[in-house]
Structure 1
Amino acid sequence: MRFKSRFSPPPPQVDLVPMLTVMMGILAFFVMITMTLGSETLIDVQLPAEQPDNSPAALPADPFIVELLAEGQVQLNGQPTDVETLKGQMTAYLARNPENIVFLLPAQDLPYEQVMQFLGEMRAVGGNRVSLAIEE
């Protein structure tokens, strides 16, 4: 007959090194993802102040409206044009009219990324005097 031994087995040991290795790997992964996502360039969007009488702001006498169509075509005030010519015309317009704004009117079915990329190109030329317009 066996009797219980007076000595109980020692408690099991937990090895922390593999757990710490995994935790450091996960931490490094999240740090790299955070640094990668944080480097995206953003476009500063400033919403207009609320109009007290709910009337839309009046357009200038000679508006500069750039339409971005679904086929990737660009129109200036209803006339087809290419991007390089548009940039030159936009620079001349903004120099002539220091108070006016250039409006970008994209087609409704364009992807958001394409519209924001084109708006960024226009802002490189016109700065904060380029505005994204919507048609109601």
Structure 2
Amino acid sequence: MGMSTGGGGSSLNNEINVTPMIDVLLVLLIIFMMIIPMSRKAIDTQLPDPNPQPAQPNVNPDQIVLEVLPDDKYAINREPVDKKELFNRLKSIYDPRPEKIIFIKGDTMSIYENVIWAMDQARGAGVKVLGVAPK
């Protein structure tokens, strides 16, 4: 609200002073422009090729597949391994290997906790890349 001085009569000015409101809006705009790029988070993922090449009939013998079976049973390339010996067996397999890649295949009846435990054991044994085998 403004007031005029001098002159012949006093009249009040009923116009809203929008300058402070514009200042506040510009400050908020600048704050949001700074915060939004910093709040973005990303997860690195590798998506399958949309145009896959025909599958080769030969299976790579260097691939290691860890199967998580029901009732706390595990198998490495279809060879049964005791739960207590899983870490030592994986460690002995992956110590001499230059490529530290494993594929984990969980049975539909196995507990999710056992699959995660097997992944942790593989990471502890030195595996760098964990792949999940498709159905």
TM-score (norm 2): 0.52
Structure 1, residues 80-124: CA drift from partner, whole Å, max 9, x if none?
111343322322322332124111111012232332233222222
Task: Give the match for residue 25 of structure 2.
Answer: none
Q: Give 1:69 shift.
A: 0.5
Task: Give the match for residue 74 of structure 1.
Answer: 74
Q: Give 1:126 shift.
A: 2.5
2:118 paired with 1:91:
no
Task: Give the match for residue 15 of structure 1.
Answer: none
| CA distance in structure 2 between the partners assigned to 1:63 and 1:114 by the alignment | 21
| CA distance in structure 1 between the partners assigned to 2:55 and 2:112 by the alignment | 25
Task: Give the match for residue 53 of structure 1.
Answer: 51
Structure that is richer in strand per residue: 2
Task: Give the match for residue 32 of structure 2.
Answer: none
2:105 paired with 1:115:
no
Structure 1 residues 46 and 94, CA, compared in 2 at 3 Å: closer, same or farther? farther
Task: Give the match for residue 31 of structure 1.
Answer: none
Q: Is the partner of 2:128 in helix, strand or coil?
A: helix
| CA distance in structure 1 between the partners assigned to 2:55 and 2:99 by the alignment | 14
Q: Is the partner of 1:68 in helix, strand or coil?
A: strand
Q: Give 1:76 shift.
A: 1.3
Which piece of structure 1 moves more, 96-105 or 125-134? 125-134
TM-score (norm 1): 0.52
Q: Give 1:74 shift.
A: 0.8
The structure having more radius of gyration, on CA atoms, is 2
Structure 1 residues 109 and 55, CA, compared in 2 at 3 Å: closer, same or farther? farther
Q: Give 1:75 shift.
A: 1.0
Unpaired segments of 5 or more residues in structure 1?
1-44
Which piece of structure 1 moves more, 71-80 or 104-113? 104-113
Quote the RMSD (CA, aligned, Å). Answer: 2.8
Structure 1, residues 50-99: CA drift from partner, whole Å, max 9, x if none?
31422488763322111111121111111111134332232232233212
8 Å contact from structure 2 (residues 95, 126) kept in 1:
no
Unpaired segments of 5 or more residues in structure 2?
1-42
8 Å contact from structure 1 (residues 119, 132) kept in 2:
no
| CA distance in structure 2 between the partners assigned to 1:89 and 1:76 by the alignment | 9
